[in-house]
Amino acid sequence: MKKYLWIIITALSWVVSGCGAYLNQPMKTTRARIGEQTPFSFHLRNLPQPEEPIIVAVYKLRDQTGQYKPSEVGTSWSTAVTQGATNILIKALMDSGWFTVIERENVGNLLNERKIIRSTRMEFNRENAGQALISPLLFAGMIIEGGIVSYESNIMTGGIGVRYFGAGGSGKYRQDRVTVYLRAIATKSGRVLKNVYTSKTLLSQAVDGGLFRFVRFSRLLEVETGFTYNEPADMAVTEAIEKAVYSLILEGAQEGLWRADSSQQNLMNGAMAAYEVEKEEMEQVDLVGRNHVDHGHYSSFSISGTSLLYQGDYPNPRFRPGVEAGLTAVFSSGLSFHLGFGKSSLATEQAFDRKVTYFDGSTRLRLLPTDRISPFLFAGGGLMMPEGEMPSSNIPSNMLLKLHAGLGLEYFVTDFLGLELALDNNYLMSDGLDGVVNGKYNDFFYRSRLGLKYYLSRNKKK
């Protein structure tokens, strides 16, 4: 009975783990509804109003990617991005409130309809020869051109999974990227006034789990659950176009190409200041969203709390706290040399307890030198000076040579202050630390360290 109860509980747990998808399954048809808004639509619609709307013409925003929709099975002839980007651009321009958009994509249809209107009015208004047959068309002072220039698939993929005795689950993801360019062109001179580009990532996720187990001989229990989520490509294109229109408005206002209403100039100044901050931040971000900073440090000071764990000829070792101070000289963005001086003790529960002072140097390699958080590797050597006599040591002045190697994690809280967490193995070149020479290996100890670092930088904040 308990065995069946365990199986039922396990199956239910898998179902509950995917309840977010199960509670939202499309089990019936839905009615048509108004189109969804992107997360950026609010910012576009809440821009300060212009001094006067700009009359612009939009001919066609083309799909210039040449990409087809990625498919895991066979070949897909569906394009990766929407072919109706012009409609999205026109809506974004109108939603901003800064532009009066005139029809140019299907201008042939418009001209044909105007011919029909003229000929019809001429037939019924011959007696009023001087009457205007139809009002003139608006002409644009500016043309908006551009296109969807790239769609990159699988710029980042990954996942995780575990399975044990037929029970387990997995999750995986894929990230794509779409890029949009827009430019504003003066119709009188043909000069390109502004050219901007934006990008948007698309996330696809899949989570699944299951149970595959023989309950008894010839009786098999199998349970599966899972869900997938694919971010709609048209919503990603819409958000990228809205961001491009937003950037076009603010960059044009910064250069005096157009102005906000005088009553909302303060709001416009605030929006432009926030946009400048965003541009500075994006200059330090790479393709996958990691923040890259050239800190320009040439040295740092550190103070750390340590914990040493003795590993020698006596059993039952204990963690003992200590303190360490350090100085680091930076040779390049990823390579540095560290000098450390510390005091602590090595001990077991009963048989051994000895205070130690150590001085060591190590070469460090930061694996992600321009990231705010980065793992690092280090290795080096030094001297350890235990207190008390060491009957089995042949090294004078109670000094022991040691080698060490380890890894750590460094995080920049600010440009000048950081946190450091490290763990290393310290191998002594003598087996006399605890006064007992025994076994195949010399005495050694593990050291963990957590500390604060203050950096001296060549670069001054502007």
| CATH superfamily name and code, 2-18+38-69+77-124+135-282 | ABC-type transport auxiliary lipoprotein component (3.40.50.10610)
pLDDT of residue 438: 77
pLDDT of residue 127: 59
Q: Give 64-89 pLDDT, tens digit per residue.
A: 888 888 777 666 778 888 898 999 99
Please give, one letter per residue, the 3-state secondary structure of 372-404: CEEEEEEEEEEEEEECCCCCCCCCHHHCEEEEE
pLDDT of residue 182: 94
pTM over 0.85: no
Percent of residues, the chain, with pLDDT higher than 70: 87
What is the pLDDT averaged over residues 383-405?
72
Interacting residues of 175 by C-beta distance below 8 A, sequence separation 6+:
154, 155, 156, 157, 201, 202, 203, 204, 288
Q: Is 52 helix (H, G, I), strand (E, B) or coil?
A: coil
Rounded-to-integer distance, Cα 319 and Cα 305, Å = 13
Please give, one letter per residue, the 3-state secondary structure of 309-374: EEECCCCCEEEEEEEEEEEEEECCCCEEEEEEEEEEEEEECCCCEEEEEEEEEEEEEECCCCECEE
State the pLDDT confidence band at 460, using cuts at 50, 70 and 90: very low
Closest CA to 61 of 46, 81, 31, 43: 81
pLDDT of residue 26: 67
pLDDT of residue 393: 47
Q: Record the tokens describing residue 389, joined without a space.
A: 């006599």
Q: Which CATH architecture has domain 297-457?
A: Beta Barrel (2.40)
Sign of the dihedral defined by the CA atoms of residues 312, 317, 323, 328, in that order: positive
Question: For the chain, which residues make up each domain, given as ranges?
Answer: 2-18+38-69+77-124+135-282, 297-457
The whole-angstrom distance between residue 212's C-alpha and the CA centroid of its chain comes to 36
Q: What mean pLDDT value characterizes the chain?
A: 85
State the pLDDT confidence band at 131, using cuts at 50, 70 and 90: low
Q: Give 149-170 pLDDT, tens digit per residue.
A: 999 888 889 999 998 888 899 9
pLDDT of residue 24: 65
